[in-house]
Amino acid sequence: MKITNVPRRYIIVILTFICTSVCYIERVGFSIAYTAAADAAGVNQSSKGMILSTFYYGYACSQVPGGWAAQKIGGRRVLLLSFLLWSLTCAFVPLDPNRVTLLVIARLLVGVAQGFIFPSIHTVLAQWVPPHERSRSVSLTTSGMYFGAAAGTLVLPSLVKFRGAQSVFLVEAALGALWSLLWFKYASDPPRSDHPKAAAAGFGEQSLPIRGSQKTKVERAAKIPWKRIILSVPVWAIVVNNFTFHYALYVLMNWLPTYFELGLNFSLQEMGSSKMIPYLNMFLFSNIGGVIADHLITRRILSVTRTRKVLNTVGFVVASFALMALPIFRTPDGVVFCSSVALGFLALGRAGFAVNHMDIAPRYAGIVMGVSNTAGTLAGIVGVDLTGRLLESAKAAQLDLTSPDSWRLVFLIPGLLCIFSSFVFLLLSTGERIFD
């Protein structure tokens, strides 16, 4: 079948899935490559945590500006420019643990560039995807993160072993350039006549930037309600859950390689395909959650509000117990199982809080995503850096990093956050549209 026979919105969703996959190949790839290079150079855990968390400082700074730029300029253009920036940075920066300043600047640049991506994606999807396809479309797009993490975790350790850490940067840059070409060729803004009856749902004609002589009362009505967004209780329910989700995800993504290497004395290269199972599980559960949510909503089995709350609560509560149990497991297979349950159910929970941006504010989905993803990024800064400090404190207390006691607090914190966040979402969220 020719690609021209496929509905354009399906092409857009597939391309955004590939986009998030490539982004997370980059993030996992840096963690794997830098960990290998830093361990070889004798870098301590606290310094590793600082470098690994630098990305999130840049990422946090560009979330809200990314939502604003996507709203004003168009998500399609912003997405392309951000991809080109981080790809070029990966192509030209050497991975040398001793050149700390250069690495910090590079990771800040990559973080800033990637910070524009998810607000832009939400703006694009809000323009293209009708409400009855929203859960599974967003779930498929975001599941690309986990597919990319799984693929990166499977392939990149061997690439580091046989081709060196720098080769990871070059592969990531090549993937970024290839995706940029695909996006440039196949992506477009929706025609202004495509969904004339659906503009109120937040996609189509009235979601597009309006310029020049076209500025009308519609533009004034579409002025971004910053104060209402910041003071909205349902927005804060999303923010809290976004923070918790990314705290758990980023801690596991950045420190599981160290947990296997130092906590279990087991090399990632020896694990084969099993090391990708946690992220593959996220990919599967994310899409399962999207299909279940759309089924419950379209068949009127549950309201949008109850659907979001049920999936969010189930996902986060199960994940909390798996996280807190993780240090009990002292074999690679046990850790893979436990982290798979934790990450899988966290991904299921995304059919609750993550899609909720489009429920409550379809016209400003990119803006609300920028606000909540800023909180998620702060979780990366806090969680990744704090984990390094906790491990250094354990060593200072003369605890061996092979001891479960050294890691117990690392996984207890996100576990407790999951329980807290699930109650916040249960009490404060809504599936009704609250921003016109």
Express each pLDDT in 298-348 by its tens digit: 899 999 999 999 999 999 999 999 999 998 888 888 888 999 999 999 999
Domain boundaries, given as residue ranges, for the chain: 3-191+225-428
pLDDT in tens, 373-393: 889 888 878 888 888 888 888
Local confidence band at 423 (pLDDT 50, 70, 90 cut-offs): very high
pLDDT-derived band at 9 (thresholds 50, 70, 90) equals confident
* pLDDT at residue 69, as a whole number: 86
Q: What is the pLDDT of residues 62-82, one digit of tens each?
A: 888 888 888 788 888 999 999
Burial of 120 (0-12, 13-18, 19+ CB in 10 A): buried
Average pLDDT over residues 30-41: 85
328 compared with 210, residue with greater pLDDT = 328
pLDDT at 166 over 80: yes
Mean pLDDT of the chain: 83
What was the pLDDT predicted at 338? 92
CA dist., res. 206 & res. 337, Å (int): 46
pLDDT band at 199 (very low <50, low <70, confident <90, very high): very low
CB 161 within 8 Å of CB 49: no
pLDDT tens digits along 245-299: 999 998 887 788 778 877 777 766 666 667 778 888 888 998 899 899 989 988 9
Count of beta carbons in the 10 Å neighbourhood of residue 230 = 11
Proportion of the chain above pLDDT 90, given as a percent = 30
What residue type is 357 in one-letter code?
Answer: H
- Residue that is written with structure tokens 């970024």 in the block: 176
Residue 110, pLDDT above cutoff 70: yes
Say which CATH superfamily domain 3-191+225-428 falls into.
Answer: MFS general substrate transporter like domains (1.20.1250.20)
